[in-house]
Structure 1
Amino acid sequence: MIRLLTLLLSTLFLVSPVSAQAPSDVRVALDTSAGRIVILLHLDKAPVTAGNFLRYAVEKRLDGTSFYRGYGSADYGFVQGGAQNDPKRILPPIAHEPTSQTGLRHDDGALSMARYDPGSANGDFFIVLGTMPAMDANPLAQGDNAGFAVFAHVVEGLDIVKAIVAAPKSATLGEGVMKGQMLEHPVRIITARRLP
């Protein structure tokens, strides 16, 4: 099964089957203007969401984007980055993989997809600091209870994420809940690359 999934992923993401890694070993390095962040994708638990992020990296769609939003403090909060609906960068939205299905959680270092409605996520993501169970799916809750889709975890550079969330925010940028959360000086994502 893993070999079949690896072959399928290698076909989808234009990498040779010889160099394809097992789904549990795929890492992506985000080289930013603040330093390097390395993430481990959970292709085995969240294949659609992790595969989508890997495609953005392989196709260099995140190169030159930024982390533009920060909420909270260095111990609890999140930073958000990605394509910001740039029509030249975004791919079609993906199916939603709730945490109730994947078993993943919004815990320290988790990467999750930004979205409006379930199934609307494309090229924006956020990294969690601390534990945020309110972002997990809760089938018993009223309204939109699908939560957000975790697909990876930071394995190197969490100190960079903490520095980004603690960076100065603009008092005027942002709309609605994002007002006051937009970084005064966005942190550039120089490259996003799959590691060998």
Structure 2
Amino acid sequence: MKEKFQTFEGRAEEQSVTVILCTSLGDIELVVYPQKAPLSAGDFLDYVDRGLYQGAAFYRVIRPDNDAGSPVIEAIQGGLLTESPPTEFIAHESTKQTGIKHLDGTLSLARREVGTATAAAFFIIIGDQPSMDFGGSRNADMQGFAAFGRVVKGMEVVRAIQQIRDTSNEGPFVKGQKLSNPVAIESVKRKTNS
């Protein structure tokens, strides 16, 4: 399949944007950095602004006791519950380019190969995870993942989601990670100053 990429140059003027994820377990407040990560943050904000997260959920929990990857990480993954995202792939923005490291609460795009990410699938890091940065060994290509924001309020909600034990045996790599009952993302919106 030939890869297509989108750019979001028109949105890079904003220093940061606050987004509220309302879940069935509580709210998670995020700060997204379109100036540091214009492609990744731009794609995420495009999903927010166009209402593409309708029906989204947190559906994967990664803990030391269920992670088959190496090195072991901790995170929750969310987004659309589909294998076919409604948007095109975006070019990979590594942590070397953006300077946004995978520290506790970092928001990042999920991917398989480099250049196969969209905001349809994202994750929130729990604890510091340097193996997910550029040069880290979580991926064989050592390109890391595309970090573009962080949680500023609601890490207790993130941790509560991660501790849910009602998982399927789908696998083998994700065995024990997919939630049988995903945690609904009821709304995603920019926070306005009022």
Length-normalised TM-score, structure 1: 0.82
The residue number in structure 2 matching 1:23 is: 14
Q: Does 1:133 align with 2:130?
A: yes
The residue number in structure 2 matching 1:193 is: 189
Taking the aligned partners of 2:15 and 2:160, their CA distance within structure 1 comes to 28
- SS of the aligned residue for 2:160 comes to helix
The residue number in structure 1 matching 2:105 is: 109
Structure (1 or 2) with the greater helix fraction: 1
Gaps of 5+ in 2: 1-7, 65-72
The residue number in structure 2 matching 1:8 is: 10
The residue number in structure 1 matching 2:114 is: 118
2:29 is aligned, of 17, 35, 38, to: 38
Taking the aligned partners of 2:62 and 2:136, their CA distance within structure 1 comes to 26
Structure 1 position 154, deviation (Å): 0.4
Structure 1 position 176, deviation (Å): 2.8
The residue number in structure 2 matching 1:99 is: 95
Taking the aligned partners of 1:141 and 1:193, their CA distance within structure 2 comes to 31
The residue number in structure 1 matching 2:44 is: 53
Structure 1 position 24, deviation (Å): 2.1
Structure 1 position 182, deviation (Å): 1.0
Taking the aligned partners of 1:138 and 1:186, their CA distance within structure 2 comes to 32
Structure 1 position 185, deviation (Å): 2.0
The residue number in structure 2 matching 1:18 is: none
- SS of the aligned residue for 1:153 comes to strand
Between stretches 78-87 and 108-117, larger displacement belongs to: 78-87
The residue number in structure 2 matching 1:14 is: none
Q: Does 1:177 align with 2:179?
A: no
Taking the aligned partners of 2:139 and 2:17, their CA distance within structure 1 comes to 36
Q: Name the aligned partner's letter for residue 97 of structure 2.
A: Q
Q: Percent of aligned pairs with the same residue? A: 37
Taking the aligned partners of 2:186 and 2:45, their CA distance within structure 1 comes to 16
Structure 1 position 171, deviation (Å): 4.4
- SS of the aligned residue for 2:173 comes to helix
Aligned residues: 176
Query: Deviations 1:5-34 (Å, cap 9, x if unpaired)?
Result: x99229xxxxxxxxxxx6223111111111
The residue number in structure 2 matching 1:154 is: 151
- SS of the aligned residue for 1:146 comes to coil
Query: Deviations 1:30-68 (Å, cap 9, x if unpaired)?
Result: 111111111000111101100000000111111221100
Q: Name the aligned partner's letter for residue 154 of structure 1.
A: V
Structure 1 position 195, deviation (Å): 1.4
Length-normalised TM-score, structure 2: 0.83
Q: Does 1:167 align with 2:169?
A: no
